[in-house]
């Protein structure tokens, strides 16, 4: 017998989302959770039986399906099977985990590295293991949700500063008593806007005020710097970050998250962070795939160069067609639409023409700043990009975003 729930806050919350989703589906404006049934080449996908150009991928260097990476994963399955014997601290550690951590440390120029089972969990557990009650954690207003959740979970005093505004950050740092422990956390590239943190500014302030600096490189690994090593290579500053965080699910075509840092910091996290101690190890195939991917990035430097050229072509081309791409300088290219409704309509019109892009709407972005979040990869051909921009221009005119 089904038990009827009383009408409380939980049922109301569930109903609100259910109704919103149902309304969008009814109007054929629901675009989430669509299965991609086939990858066709690096930059084309089959969605709902239709082939489209892929402009919603985080595989920035086009490494999904790379033969060397696939082979590494297959060999790991043959050797170790599909799972581990539990958490890393007990029976879950394999040589592939150790190798991966050594590879990451080398790639990021640190003494050591530690991996977790997702990027989200990495931020959650690391921020809340580093700081706690009585400490301060200071976060850019546009930081990723996983950082925000880590800050809230930590119990430290949580201060936020205006996006990428170094005067606002300094005002926050001045407000804290000088002997208190303070951690500043920022994204290197912001996931909704594609802009880059003022890295020299933030490094200078953290040094001046004796604050720890943690930088999330989810969208800069493989994207920034001549060889794709990230934000430090891009700015030519090598000793600025205490805790270098990244994901293994974007440029690196696997799953997981990492921290690259000095040995004592990595060892501390290995013995104190709950997501390492109480959650199972990365599956061997994912660890081996990630390990090989870092090597492919260095062996195939043309990928970073292509990504850079493709990004420039797309941003300049979209701006020339009259789109507002905000402050982006990277492979995440917001295409400002305005209302949520306009973003949904623009998505539909683009997808109907064969361009697979997705909308980002409130509350993920402020009301009135709904957008498409287009992404560019090294796998796109310049002619494909030109074609996609023409199709999006036609879509923009149809829905009234362009005149």
Q: Which of 57, 117, 154, 191 is catalytic?
A: 191
Q: Residue 128 CB: number of other CB atoms within 10 A? A: 21
CA distances from 38 to 43, 49, 105, 199 (A): 11, 9, 34, 39
Least separation in angstroms between residue 157's CB and ligand PLP is 22
Least distance from C-beta 158 to ligand PLP, angstroms? 17
Residue nearest to ligand PLP (CB): 119
Q: Is 112 in the site for ligand PLP (CB under 6 A)?
A: no
Among the residue ranges 104-112, 214-222, 303-311, 367-375, the one whose residues contact ligand PLP (CB under 6 A)? 214-222
The DSSP 8-state label assigned to residue 243 in this structure reads: E
- Show the tokens assigned to 192: 């909704």
Q: Is 203 left (phi over 0), alpha (psi -120 to 50) or beta?
A: alpha
Least distance to ligand PLP from the beta carbon of 151, Å?
A: 13
Which residue among 84, 191, 254, 291 contacts ligand PLP (CB under 6 A)? 191
* Binding of ligand PLP by 120 (CB under 6 A): yes
CA atoms of 254 and 231, how far apart (whole Å): 21
CB distance 222 to 252 below 8 Å: yes
Asked whether the beta carbons of 231 and 118 are under 8 A apart, the reply is: no
Q: Is 91 exposed, middle or buried (0-12, 13-18, 19+ CB in 10 A)?
A: exposed
Q: Establish if 118 lies at the interface with ligand PLP (CB under 6 A).
A: yes
Question: Any catalytic annotation for residue 5?
Answer: no
Among 216, 232, 242, 340, binds ligand PLP (CB under 6 A): 216
Q: In this structure, are residues 104 and 248 in contact, taking their beta carbons and an 8 Å threshold?
A: no
Q: Which of 66, 108, 144, 219 is catalytic?
A: 219
Q: Is 144 in the site for ligand PLP (CB under 6 A)?
A: yes
Total chain residues near ligand PLP (CB under 6 A)? 14
Rg of the Cα atoms in the chain: 22
140 is a site residue for ligand PLP (CB under 6 A)? no
230 binds ligand PLP (CB under 6 A): no
Q: Which long-range contacts (CB under 8 A, 24 or more apart) does 226-229 make?
A: 226/301, 226/304, 227/297, 227/298, 227/301, 227/304, 228/61, 228/297, 228/301, 228/303, 228/304, 229/107, 229/108, 229/109
Q: Identify the residue among 53, 119, 194, 359 touching ligand PLP (CB under 6 A).
A: 119
Q: Is 246 in the site for ligand PLP (CB under 6 A)?
A: no
Give the range of 43-51, 101-109, 119-127, 354-362 binding ligand PLP by CB under 6 A.
Answer: 119-127
Please list, in sequence order, all residues whose beta carbon lies within 8 angstroms of the beta carbon of residue 162, skipping any fewer than 6 positions away. Answer: 141, 168
Identify whether 271 is a catalytic site residue. no
Site string for ligand PLP, 146-185 (x = CB under 6 A): x---------------------------------------
- Residue closer to ligand PLP (CB basis): 55 or 120: 120
Closer to ligand PLP by CB, 191 or 348: give it: 191
- Is 191 noted as a catalytic residue in this protein? yes
The answer to whether 88 and 97 are in contact (CB under 8 A) is yes
Instruction: Write the interaction track for ligand PLP spanning residues 307-336; mark x where CB under 6 A is met and - where it is not.
Output: ------------------------------
Residue 375 vs residues 52, 53, 319: alpha-carbon distances, Å: 14, 11, 15
Positions marked active-site: 191, 219, 250
Residues that bind ligand PLP (CB under 6 A): 118-120, 123, 144, 146, 187, 191, 216, 218-219, 247, 249, 257
């Amino acid at each position: 017998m089904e038990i009827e729930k009383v009408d409380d806050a939980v049922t109301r919350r569930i109903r609100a989302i259910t109704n919103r989703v149902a309304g969008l589906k009814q109007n054929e404006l629901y675009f989430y959770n669509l299965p991609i049934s086939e990858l066709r080449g690096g930059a084309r996908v089959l969605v709902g039986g239709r082939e489209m150009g892929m402009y919603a991928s985080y595989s920035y260097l086009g490494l999904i399906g790379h033969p060397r990476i696939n082979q590494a994963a297959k060999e790991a399955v043959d050797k170790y099977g599909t799972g581990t014997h539990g958490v890393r601290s007990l029976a879950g550690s394999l040589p592939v985990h150790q190798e991966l951590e050594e590879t990451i440390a080398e790639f990021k120029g640190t003494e050591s590295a530690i991996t977790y089972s997702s990027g989200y969990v990495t931020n959650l557990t690391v921020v809340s293991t580093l700081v706690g009650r009585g400490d301060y954690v200071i976060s850019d207003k546009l930081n990723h949700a996983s950082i925000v959740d880590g800050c809230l979970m930590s119990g430290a005093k949580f201060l936020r500063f205006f996006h990428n505004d170094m005067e606002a950050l300094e005002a926050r740092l001045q407000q804290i008593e000088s002997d208190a422990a303070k951690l500043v956390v920022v994204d290197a590239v912001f996931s909704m806007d594609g802009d880059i943190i003022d890295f020299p500014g933030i490094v200078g302030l953290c040094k001046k005020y004796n604050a720890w600096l943690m930088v999330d490189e989810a969208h800069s690994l493989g994207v920034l710097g001549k060889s794709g090593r990230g934000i430090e290579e891009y700015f030519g500053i090598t000793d600025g970050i205490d805790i270098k965080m990244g994901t293994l699910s974007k440029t690196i075509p696997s799953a997981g998250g990492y921290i690259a840092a000095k040995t004592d910091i990595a060892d501390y996290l290995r013995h104190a962070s709950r997501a390492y101690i109480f959650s199972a190890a990365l599956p061997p195939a994912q660890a081996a795939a990630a390990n090989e991917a870092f090597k492919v990035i260095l062996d195939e430097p043309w990928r970073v160069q292509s990504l850079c050229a493709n990004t420039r072509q797309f941003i300049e081309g979209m701006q020339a067609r009259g789109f507002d791409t905000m402050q982006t300088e990277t492979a995440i290219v917001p295409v400002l639409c305005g209302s949520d409704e306009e973003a949904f309509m623009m998505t539909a019109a683009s997808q109907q023409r064969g361009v697979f892009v997705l909308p980002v709407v409130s509350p993920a972005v402020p009301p009135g700043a709904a957008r498409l979040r287009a992404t560019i990869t090294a796998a796109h051909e310049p002619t494909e990009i030109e074609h996609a921009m023409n199709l999006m221009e036609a879509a923009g005119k149809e829905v009234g975003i362009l005149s």
